[in-house]
Amino acid sequence: MSKEYNVGVLGATGAVGREMLKCLVDRGFPYGRVKALASSRSAGQKVEFDNDEITVEEVGPDSFNDLDLAIFSAGAKASAEYAPLAAKAGCPVVDNSSNWRMDPRVPLIIPEVNPGALRRHKGIIANPNCSTIQMLVALKPIYDAVGIKRIVVSTYQAVSGTGQKGVEELAEQTRQLFNGQDPNISVYPHRIAFNCLPHIDVFLENGYTKEEMKMVNETIKIFDDQNIKVSATCVRVPIFYGHSEAIWIETGRNISPESARELMKRAPGLLVVDDPAKNLYPLASEATGRDEVFVGRIRNDPSCENGLSMWVVADNVRKGAATNAVEIAELMIRDPQLLKTDWPV
């Protein structure tokens, strides 16, 4: 009989936390006991799990003592407090917040891209930003084959990237506008319904947003390539689920769209949908609820000798967050050494 693992999910009442619980079941993770954890506000609530419900427990310093591993989706502040406690208790953490991503002690993992970096963890493993995940899953086979010198990306990100409050604001504003009412604006700085906002997270001194710089810095860390150049423009768009990206790359050596397409067809976690003559290309509506990254519109860029352009789509709550975290956990249970922690006391 295969081993079963006791798993904790911190942030279990949030949209991504609930999806993490669902992913454990959907992907057949060999769980024994699953502990749903959250702050005192949410303790006592029930969350769905495997055709049943489990009661949410309040997280505390001792919550991880009886767990084999934990998956966090509770924000940077909670992660900063509880991830080291879990690691010191011998419970490795896969963390979905931004808190640990650029920490040199913490590997930043996309299983299809850099699984080998997982061996460097000391007890905390970071899940990348949702937009970075789907971009690098798509670009990995090209990067390996011919190298990539430069990436320019524009994202079209769903409101679920802001959490349930973003979903609710879009729905409410849409109803209000259809009823001739002035929309209530609280989550975003401007109306999001029937609008596009080139503003995700806070603006930095260099004119980029924090979201845009996440894509820059995380790409360099995940590819372990200080020479790769990245420029991003991140836009919030009025759809509920699914991030889309228009990506332009300059490769190290020339590669044809046909060759790139064939490489991508063989790559793990990637689904090529690319027949524009039949109106076949990736759509956010079709990626929703799926774990794959979808790529299409693969074509030459005539402005650059070694340029390619493409369109990439993924479900930001699934592959962009919950699924990627569970896939990391799947890698860890295949090698008992990866479940050991060595976080400094």
Instruction: Determine, yes or no, domain membership for 95.
Output: yes
Residues 243, 198: one domain? Answer: yes
**pLDDT tens, residue by residue, 84-142:** 999 999 999 999 999 999 999 999 999 999 999 999 999 999 999 999 999 999 999 99
Predicted pLDDT of residue 344: 87
Instruction: Determine, yes or no, domain membership for 57.
Output: yes
pLDDT-derived band at 1 (thresholds 50, 70, 90) equals very low
Average pLDDT for residues 38-61, to the nearest whole number? 96
Predicted pLDDT of residue 195: 98
Instruction: Give the integer Cα–Cα distance in Å for 337 and 197.
Output: 45
Question: Across-strand partners of 94?
Answer: 71, 125
Average pLDDT for residues 181-193, to the nearest whole number? 98
Contact (Cβ atoms closer than 8 angstroms) between residue 341 and residue 122: yes
* Residue 118: strand, helix, or coil: helix
Whether 331 has a pLDDT exceeding 80, the answer reads yes
Residues 144, 255: one domain? Answer: yes
DSSP state of 203: B
Residue 163, class by beta-carbon neighbours within 10 Å (0-12 exposed, 13-18 middle, 19+ buried)? middle
Instruction: Determine, yes or no, domain membership for 207.
Output: yes
Residues 28, 60: one domain? Answer: yes
Catalytic residue among 91, 121, 234, 243: 243
Phi-psi region of 160 (alpha: psi -120 to 50; beta: other; left: phi over 0): alpha
Containing 173, the helix (H) or strand (E) segment is helix 164-178
Residues 92, 184: one domain? Answer: no
Average pLDDT for residues 221-226, to the nearest whole number? 98
Catalytic: 130? yes
Q: Domain limits at 86?
A: 5-128+321-339
pLDDT over 70 percentage in the chain = 99
Catalytic: 243? yes
**Number of domains into which the chain is organized:** 2
Containing 169, the helix (H) or strand (E) segment is helix 164-178
Instruction: Determine, yes or no, domain membership for 332.
Output: yes
Instruction: Determine, yes or no, domain membership for 61.
Output: yes
227 vs 345: which has the higher pLDDT: 227
Residues 221, 158: one domain? Answer: yes
Residues 231, 167: one domain? Answer: yes
Residues 304, 179: one domain? Answer: yes
Residues 15, 107: one domain? Answer: yes
Residues 251, 215: one domain? Answer: yes
Q: How far is CA 119 from CA 89, 109, 170, 264, 335, in A?
A: 19, 11, 41, 26, 10
Contact (Cβ atoms closer than 8 angstroms) between residue 252 and residue 146: yes
Distance in Å from the first CA to the final CA of the chain: 35
Instruction: Determine, yes or no, domain membership for 345.
Output: no
Average pLDDT for residues 143-149, to the nearest whole number? 98
Residues 311, 204: one domain? Answer: yes
Output the DSSP codes for 216-265: HHHHHHHHT-TT-EEEEEEEE-S-SS-EEEEEEEEESS---HHHHHHHHH
**pLDDT tens, residue by residue, 5-32:** 999 999 999 999 999 999 999 999 999 9
Residues 234, 329: one domain? Answer: no
Instruction: Determine, yes or no, domain membership for 185.
Output: yes
Quickly count: other Cβ atoms within 10 Å of residue 335's Cβ: 11
CATH number, domain with residue 138: 3.30.360.10
Predicted pLDDT of residue 234: 98
CA angle 128, 29, 343 (to 5 degrees): 50
pLDDT-derived band at 216 (thresholds 50, 70, 90) equals very high
CATH number, domain with residue 71: 3.40.50.720
pTM above 0.75, yes or no: yes
Residues 310, 327: one domain? Answer: no
Catalytic residue among 121, 130, 190, 196: 130
Instruction: Determine, yes or no, domain membership for 344.
Output: no
